[in-house]
Amino acid sequence: MMSTHRSGSAFFLLNVAAYLTLVTVAMPVLAAVPGRSRLWVGLLFALFGVLATLFHRLKPGGVWIHAYLAAQTAILMALIIDFPESGVSHVHLLFFVLSAYAMLMLPLLPAVAWIVAFFALTMAAATYFFGWKHAVGMSAVAGGHALFGGFGALLRRSEMDRQRTEALLAELREAHRQLQEYATRVEQLAVAEERNRLAREMHDALGHRLTVAVVQLEGAQRLIPTDPQRAARIVSTMREQLKTALGELRQTVAALRAAPENELPLPAALSRLTQSFRDATGLAVHLDLPPELPPLPAGHHLALYRAAQEGLTNVQRHAEASQAWLALRADNGHVFLTVADDGRNFPAAIDESAFGLRGLRERAAELGGQLLLEDRPGGGAQIRLELPLLPEKFPKGRTHQVE
């Protein structure tokens, strides 16, 4: 069903046809009737025209359409009955206009019923006033009703197509607006995600080395009066560590490539990290690496390396341990990295809002894994990172073949 808002062009054509027909019919009828009756006839024609101007305001298919058609039919029948000769000859042509209106504004069956009624009234008036032979001669008016009815049907279909097109256009505009909003949100999320990634990289890479440097420099400062040679060796080692940290900082800020460890097979990168930690802290670290690993996606490689960095850093800062263990293994479609120590257990309330732990949890969640904080069997604490190796869990990116 059409809405109350309709195309101006379609109704303009129909109104033009209606008023041209009205003028064409009214002029000969007014010329034929006696002078004293012209006012009455003119009023009836004027009323027909006024009602025609109100037609486009009616709701399609509503009861007012039927009331409108009934009122216009009554006007035309009054003209035919009062002036049979002029009415039958000319006024019946205005029923053609009503046929178009009926087809435009009503469903098919009610519209056809009205058109049949218009034709039947015309034939009944012709038969009543002039006999059945005259009525048979007017049977061609059925073609006029069909023509105007078809015109109304075409306008109706055109109007419905126009409204469907407008609805689709409105939906397309709304979809375009939503797509723009979605693209903006995606861009904002991408920016936020990249900021978080850079923050994690800076914390995991630079934070680890700076923490080690601060602790060792404090120790070197205490050794200067009693053992200057050992203090010098510590300072020399820290200088190399800080040079490495500066290089990593430049790479992270520039975000042009991964850290140097990402270019190495993971066991080699972990061996280098452990040896550097031993040299810097003097803490014994037992390294347990598998003879071979399955290919690791870039995200897994980096997450495991950063977990090892964070774990060793926490051992130095918080554990008060004499030795630590770093183990890597792959089993049952998962890869596991554990960093443990023989120092203090985890406190009852662990501050997991600390950026290092939060960053590791975020990395694990992004890769479909988990980070566990546990007490080590035999005393101490350990962190364990578990990541799945199922292909569907892999993020996009290159993989590292461990040699």
Encode pLDDT of 120-171 as tens digits.
Answer: 888 888 788 777 766 666 667 777 778 878 877 787 787 777 778 888 888 8
Q: Is 321 exposed, middle or buried (0-12, 13-18, 19+ CB in 10 A)?
A: buried
Encode pLDDT of 94-125 as tens digits.
Answer: 888 888 888 888 888 888 899 888 888 888 88
232 in a structural domain: no
Residues 12 and 125 reside in one and the same domain: yes
273 in a structural domain: yes
Residues 154 and 36 reside in one and the same domain: yes
| Whole-number pLDDT of residue 370 | 92
Number of domains making up the chain: 2
123 in a structural domain: yes
Owning domain of residue 333: 265-403
Encode pLDDT of 57-72 as tens digits.
Answer: 777 777 888 888 898 8
> What is the CATH classification number for the domain harbouring 379?
3.30.565.10
Residues 42 and 164 reside in one and the same domain: yes
Mapped onto helix, strand or coil, the DSSP state of residue 178 is: helix
Q: pLDDT at residue 278 above 70?
A: yes
Q: Could you say which of 144, 172, 200 is where a domain stops?
A: 172
Residues 159 and 287 reside in one and the same domain: no
Supply the DSSP string of 27-93, one letter for each residue. Answer: HHHHHHS-HHHHHHHHHHHHHHHHHHHHGGGSPTTSHHHHHHHHHHHHHHHHHHHHSHHHHHHTGGG
Q: What is the pTM of this model?
A: 0.40
- Enter the tokens of residue 136: 């048979």
337 in a structural domain: yes
| Whole-number pLDDT of residue 175 | 84
